[in-house]
Amino acid sequence: MPETPRTTPRTIVVVGTGIAGATAALTLREEGFDGRVVLVGEEPHPPYRRPPLSKDLVKRALTPERLRLKPPTAWQELGIELRTGTKVTGIVGGVLECADGSRLPYDRLLLATGGRARTLPYAAEDDHVHTLRRLGDVPALRADLESGGPLLVVGAGLLGLEAAASARAAGLDVTVLEAAAEPLRRVLPARLRHAVLDLHRAHGTQVHTGVALTGLTRRDGVLVATARDGRSWHAHTVLVAAGLRPDVELAARAGLDVDDGILVDALGTTSDPRVFAAGDVARYPDPHLGRRVRVEQWNHAQQHAAAIARNMLGAGTPFTAVPWSWTEQYGVMLQIAGHFTDADSLAVQGDIADFDFAALATADGRPVGAVAAGRPHDFRSLRTVLDRHAGTPPRTAAHTPTVLPHAVLTGGRPEAAGTAGPPTAAG
């Protein structure tokens, strides 16, 4: 990646009003930048908190007023020019071109364009088939759920399972279909995936794995999902929770390097030294894995955007933070940190079945991931352990079973490590 220009910028434009873009704009001011800051986004709403969209799906509290990050006057008071409902169509010669005909020159530019919800290629358009990525997706989906009909969720990632738990807690019949052999393979090690699956089934949610869907059509007034093996499921409402597609169109048109995201270096710089990227859309070198990753997590987007904003001002500090997230389902909160891609052992302290535990995943003796339920203090300690081992190479010696160190976790007797299974990269 090219070296960032050393001249002090006077105008910084941020494209994307999600948590990454909003955090970057706020960080610029916190760091004392007194030049022009413009925050541009397609959505009509000012920046808002996205996690409640799935966690609290059926609650009437999901309104722009309750979810907003800052009061309406705060952006103006901070000297941040907030331009909502504005689509950026091009980047040409240090100038942003917008769909409304306006042009925004910049000295430095941050792309925090996030992603768009994936759809199903075999699904016919239907008013009762929804995705859940933006606040604007909520009213129609919630109206369908309030009708009381069965809900079918396609995808057993965190968003799909959170939405399923929210709907089930409201008394709806809920079925979840997952293409993989297990849910949350990108997020948790095997023993913990099984525990989450048991939790959903204990609350009456039907979860089917290994489902290869081939069609989603309307028959006799109901939606019918059909699998390759002949199985079918009926529903009044379908939520497609199949992940997101990184929004790289603007970057690609500008000639920036893209590959499953916008490629950046450890400072957040793209192939253009005046353009940076952060959050869900950025694919950056992760020192823990030794390769590029793109992380789709709210907390990561905040951390990454804040770090990159400082680098836009010349901090020159590589981003090395361990990604972490949290999920709440049926009143159970799981805190998750790191990556479980290469994990070969899982040490657990506490009771997984009761969701009162802390767990540390290792690869060749090196800590790579941590999960906790009901133990926030232990989770903070485990995150410190992961940070301390960031970028260190795995041990070459033969691996020995790991137990959780008493210096890291408190209370209870550590259990011998179990096999974590072959989970794929978190993100």
DSSP per position, 324-351: EEEEEETTEEEEEEE--TT--EEEEEEE
Note down the domain range covering 102: 11-116+244-312
Note whether residue 339 is domain-resident. Answer: yes
pTM: 0.89
DSSP 365-401: TEEEEEEEES-HHHHHHHHHHHHHTTTPPPP-SPP--
Res 391: pLDDT: 59
Verify that 338 and 259 share a domain, yes or no: no
Chain segment 413-427, per-residue pLDDT in tens: 333 333 333 222 322
Q: Residue 304 class from Cβ within 10 Å (0-12 exposed, 13-18 middle, 19+ buried)?
A: buried
Verify that 217 and 365 share a domain, yes or no: no
Unique residue bearing structure tokens 């794929």:
424
Verify that 370 and 292 share a domain, yes or no: no
Verify that 181 and 156 share a domain, yes or no: yes
Q: How many whole angstroms separate alpha carbon 114 and alpha carbon 63?
A: 21
Domain containing residue 269: CATH number: 3.50.50.60
Alpha helices in 81-170 (DSSP H): 138-146, 158-169
Unique residue bearing structure tokens 């903070």:
380
307 φ, ψ (degrees, to nearest 5): -65, -40
Verify that 170 and 111 share a domain, yes or no: no
Verify that 144 and 234 share a domain, yes or no: yes
Ranges of beta strands (E only) in 125-231 are 129-130, 151-154, 174-177, 206-208, 213-219, 222-227
Verify that 54 and 202 share a domain, yes or no: no
* 197-211 as b/e: b if 16+ CB within 10 A: bebbeeeebbbeeeb
Q: How many whole angstroms separate alpha carbon 118 and alpha carbon 120?
A: 7
Domain-ending residue, one of 194, 223, 240: 240
The terminus-to-terminus CA distance of the chain in angstroms comes to: 23
Chain segment 154-187, per-residue pLDDT in tens: 999 999 999 999 999 999 999 999 999 999 988 9
Unique residue bearing structure tokens 């010696």:
397
Residue 1 — very low, low, confident or very high, per pLDDT cuts 50/70/90?
low
Report the DSSP pairing between strands 103-105 and 95-98. antiparallel
118: Cβ contacts below 8 Å, ≥ 6 apart: 131, 240, 242, 243, 244, 245
Res 184: pLDDT: 93
Note whether residue 182 is domain-resident. Answer: yes
Residue 3 — very low, low, confident or very high, per pLDDT cuts 50/70/90?
low
Unique residue bearing structure tokens 């393979």:
185
Ranges of beta strands (E only) in 220-355 are 222-227, 232-235, 237-240, 244-246, 262-263, 275-277, 282-286, 291-293, 324-329, 332-338, 345-351
Domain-ending residue, one of 254, 280, 312: 312
If we measure between CA atoms, which residue out of 213, 20, 208 comes closest to residue 113? 20
In this prediction, residues 278-283 reach a mean pLDDT of 98
Q: How many whole angstroms separate alpha carbon 376 and alpha carbon 48?
A: 25
Verify that 91 and 105 share a domain, yes or no: yes
Verify that 336 and 294 share a domain, yes or no: no
Residue 278 — very low, low, confident or very high, per pLDDT cuts 50/70/90?
very high
**Does residue 345 surpass a pLDDT of 50?**
yes
Verify that 127 and 201 share a domain, yes or no: yes
Verify that 70 and 123 share a domain, yes or no: no
Ranges of beta strands (E only) in 86-135 are 88-92, 95-98, 103-105, 108-111, 115-117, 129-130
Neighbours of 115 (CB within 10 A): 19
Res 140: pLDDT: 93
In this prediction, residues 111-124 reach a mean pLDDT of 91
Verify that 124 and 112 share a domain, yes or no: no
Res 393: pLDDT: 54
Structural domain count, the chain:
3
Note whether residue 77 is domain-resident. Answer: yes
Note whether residue 326 is domain-resident. Answer: no
Report the DSSP pairing between strands 151-154 and 237-240. parallel
Res 323: pLDDT: 93
